[in-house]
Structure 1
Amino acid sequence: MQAVMALCHFCENHGPRIVMTCQPVRDVEEKESSPNPSTSLDPSTSDSPPGPIVPLIKFDGECEFHHRKQTKSEDGTSYPHYGNCTKFTIDLDDRCSACSSFRNGPCLLSNDHQTRTSYISSEVALQERVYERVKIACLRSLSCERSGDLEENGGTNSSKTPSKAPSKSSSKKPATPRKWRPEVIHEEPINAITGTRIPPSATVLQEPKEDGAKKALIKEKEEADGCVIFGDVDNGYCFAFVFRVIDAKARGFHRLFSLVVVTNDLTFLTNNFEYFKTTLGGIKTDLQTLAQEVYSKEILLIPKLTDEDIHKPEYQNMVGKSGTPNTKMAIQTDRSLTAVTATEEIWVRLHRHMMWTLRSPTLAFRDRVMEGKPTQDMMVLLELDQSQIVELELHHPNQHSVSMAQLANLKIIASQLNASNEPEDLDILIHTLVTGGQVAVESREKECCRQFLLAISNLLPIGCIKLATYKDQYLPEYSSRFNLIGGPHNMDIPLDVSDVIVVRVMPRDLSIVDSDKMSLENCVIEVRRRPENDGSGGGLPQIVKRYRDLLLDADVRDTLLESVLRTTREGWMHKAKICYQMKHHLPASEIFKHITGVGYDDRQVVMYWTAGLSDAYKQHVIASLQHTRHMSIPQTSTTSSR
């Protein structure tokens, strides 16, 4: 969720002001899989006009660097970050030490490499739109009514309502309203003998106690704390926690602050209401604790007022107890939060608090796609060498585009073979491929062979692919070593290699041959040699018919075609797994009776696809069989001894 957090203060000199803003900046560009963030503050992820660069202080983990390095980049910093850190906001408001934090100096930076997000704390937000919304939230949070504490009103409401209904005798003489008032500023005591009230002049004047004044001050401060949610569609929504920080040199001995979380999503605030109330309340308590310690020390060093300095009213008992101690105090309205809390690293602490407050809901509400058990293709991919992965183009920086290009070429191959003079060539090609035969491609251009073989490899599980994109000469051992092989034009393949289909690919224009952008659409594809057992004498396997229908369907393409092909492969790989387990228990003639959906024509496909199972799965099956046999041996011997 996109949200901004800020600390606001009602300055006695300038009114409501934003003191500190923590803003997440995310990487919106699709980058490579490498987790290296950019090391420049250029607006590479934004189309906004260039603006002044914000100098940064890196604060990553427990490391703090308050001095910038000597070797700087062109923009003045060498700290890695995500997103755009260019500042477009111009703050023209007057400020003093009480309502400022970083001013124009360096701000704080923390990087979250897991979500590719940088958290930047500065005096105001970097973008003008965000700054305006936080400014409105600051003004409203420091001036609006907040939610009250139920415990404060509980005693008042109960005292206003009598516990019992009035009796008949009391109804004759109605009680005065004054009798039921819960709090009276002053009430003259009643003389026990005469029953009349003692005049104020006879009352003894007493000074308020210092302890009572301090407790009243703390109670007043606690009762002023509270949270509220407000906002609208135009100005965004805000969760505000308003509180007061005690200060011996402030008017009224306290300063008004608010912590605000501003976002466009009202649901985000309501769903996390208790979370923000707890976390922002913890930050508030931390600041108040630090300020209370400073206040307790400063109040002892200030001389107290004498009786001559205090102007006592004639009727002092009619005046409520003062909530402030009687001391000689010099008011300092421009006192910064650093001085109020006596903590030099107060901005670093607040940055850490704000960063984790914004980061935790993002991690908690992050969508996670659970893929379940790994497929056989995933397990085989972990077992392949890096060279094989590169040759099969299974780990490309732009893998999606590569896969879509291969599927487009696969559709072109199917379309051309189906439109040729021998339409059954498409069925022969697919049948040879899925039953373990060899597909050889001839071309004058190596790239044509490579694109053709990579395209048809999408019809096989990864474990069944034995690929050689180009060989200058066909050797006898290649017939059993590779099932996909490319070679030069008129490649000499021995006649004793019976189970092979030879396809020739000829580009119409050699100038368009490009390793990155080449398409088989500008090539002529024809079958030059067919295998002896092409499957034409009997029925075709179900998967051959399935593949043919998918490749010739004009509506099934791109991502949909990729998903359907993957689902089809996984379905037949499940049958291959059952076949591999059954062949260790049953004779070959009984295996396919226990596998549903496998006909007579499908048996060769399933038997060949068992070779595409991962080594880890095969070892697991063998280990399970050995364990079962080992457990059955003691049981058999015990039974025979009995």
Structure 2
Amino acid sequence: MNAVVALCHFCEIHGPRVLFCCQSYHEEPPVHLQVTTSATSAPSLGPVCSPSRLQAPLLPSRSFYGKFDCFAACLQSLTRRNSFDSNCDQQMAPKVQVSSADLSGYLCCETCSACRSVGTTFPGFLVNDHKSRISYVGSQFPFHPEVFTIVRHACLRSLSCEICPGREGPIFFGDSVCGYCLCYTFNVKDFTARGFHHLYSLIVVSMDRLLLLNNYNFFVSSLCAIAGYVQRRACRVFDDEQSRDQERLKQISAIGGGVGGKSLWLQASCFLRERRQSNPAAPRSLPELTGERDVYRKLNRAFVWILRAQMEQCIEVILEGLPDQDQLIELESRHVQRGFVNYLGFDCDSFAPCNAEVHLNDIFTGVLAFPLRGEEPSAHLFGSSSSLSSSSSLSCLSSVVHLTHIARSLNRSSFRLLLYHLLIGNQTVVRSSDGNLARAALDALRLLLPRGCVRQVNFSPEYLECWRCNLLGIGERVALPLATLENPYVLLTIDSRFVDEDDDCGGSGETSFDTSMTSDRLLRCAFETTLCAFSSPSEYPALVNRIMTMVYEGDMSSSVLGKLLYALKQEWVNKAKLLYAMTKQFNNDEATVSRKWRLATRCKEADEALVKFWQAGLSRSFKSYIMSVCSQRQAFTSSSSSSNG
């Protein structure tokens, strides 16, 4: 991961300072795989080349992954700083020299207790992930001099010139030269400080702008959870000190009353005299403010969790060509549900963290829990792309198996009629005593439709009209209205009486949606279709006949059948795209469009009714593109005709 997570503090004496940071070090590739090697490498906030995950179990574990140069340079600087009062073995000292005066000056400058985190004799924390072959190093500053400069620059801006809309909250800033930063500023209470609080900031620094913006919700919710934990601990210490220091509160209230009802705090002489008489205490460190001596150890565990959780959910996926219409519609629906405007216009004062707070609170309480592949908090935060894609492929394969079972449970004529009314957009109602069985059957049927044509209700306590959903699951006791020409439907009944008797004898019950158990039960059920207010068509679309041939006559596995159905669906989606484009081009002249479209695609009238319904499965991006092209063509035509006239 190309990022560094750090905790920064605005010291009353020394100004903005980096208190603690965590960085990941990835293993270097083998020598025979390296194209070029150089002694001086560019600053890296993360991996340069990660080894293959397949080779990781075959390689031996190491105590530290990645280059040891920067790590040894920091140890050498710390050793030279403490060598005046201790005898150290010069032969055991690292031989790497630190060429950056910036880093050396930072180490040798005077600091107070509030500006130190891990101390001078303790270099920091080291966490090794032997499976991914990554080392996470937690220290007061990054070991690479140039990375340290980038982090310190982000620290300075986060605590000075960069201000969020509220007193506390997230803000994004940066450029391609100094790096990009996503920071979360917050205040920590201190009873002895001026204004009774200190300013802190949590920053995530990276040279990759898209990495921070694409994971904005995850980073902000995680940083907000860490800040909330520190604030709660500091608030407890503040309340205890305030309750114990009653005498000082009485003195403050007496001085504030003044003489003659006038406050002496407004007079400069009294303020200066009070400052001279008082003995201001030294700035206190974060362990003193929170009352926890191991607060930096917990922060290191939280930072490691953030770095690893982000890396777990960012996995490369091989795309086989451009995204299809189903994928585009899925992306558009996600944007509508998430609401991009909400991301820019939320109230910083009322910002609430997502489920990252649950995991980070477990870390702070001593349970180090890393995200699991397949875990999906808040529908996006820590889910793994590979696990989600594999689970979707398994569900698709199960739907193909269920569709084949439904087809072979019915006779050919009944299944052909079911396919016809399903593909042209008529409502399909699935009746079952078990909601899980109805959901599995609906998922199998929706496999034949484009994503944009599906309006599915898995299990409803009452009947819903066809304009509300075209795939509906209901119970056995739900009353159905009389079918009319305005509200027709196809009824598919699932007979699970024998399955329920077998389950009762076996003593197994199903209370939740279990994929494997539901699939096994559905494969033992019988099906029956009922056509309401429908008549058999004189001619079926070509798509219905091809699906019938694949299901009944094709001797192929379920995975191959699924790929064939997908390819067949994409073929007819392309025909729907052509029909939509021709409709907009010829200004909705149905006769001309129908004649030209049939001639181009070699389709018949029955196919046209199916394709007209499938136009609802086209994405908004495709429709916008067609409209823009047609408008440009019309503008060009009008301008050409006016110039000729």
Fold match by TM threshold 0.5: no
TM, length-normalised to structure 2 = 0.43
TM, length-normalised to structure 1 = 0.43
Which structure carries more helix by proportion? 2
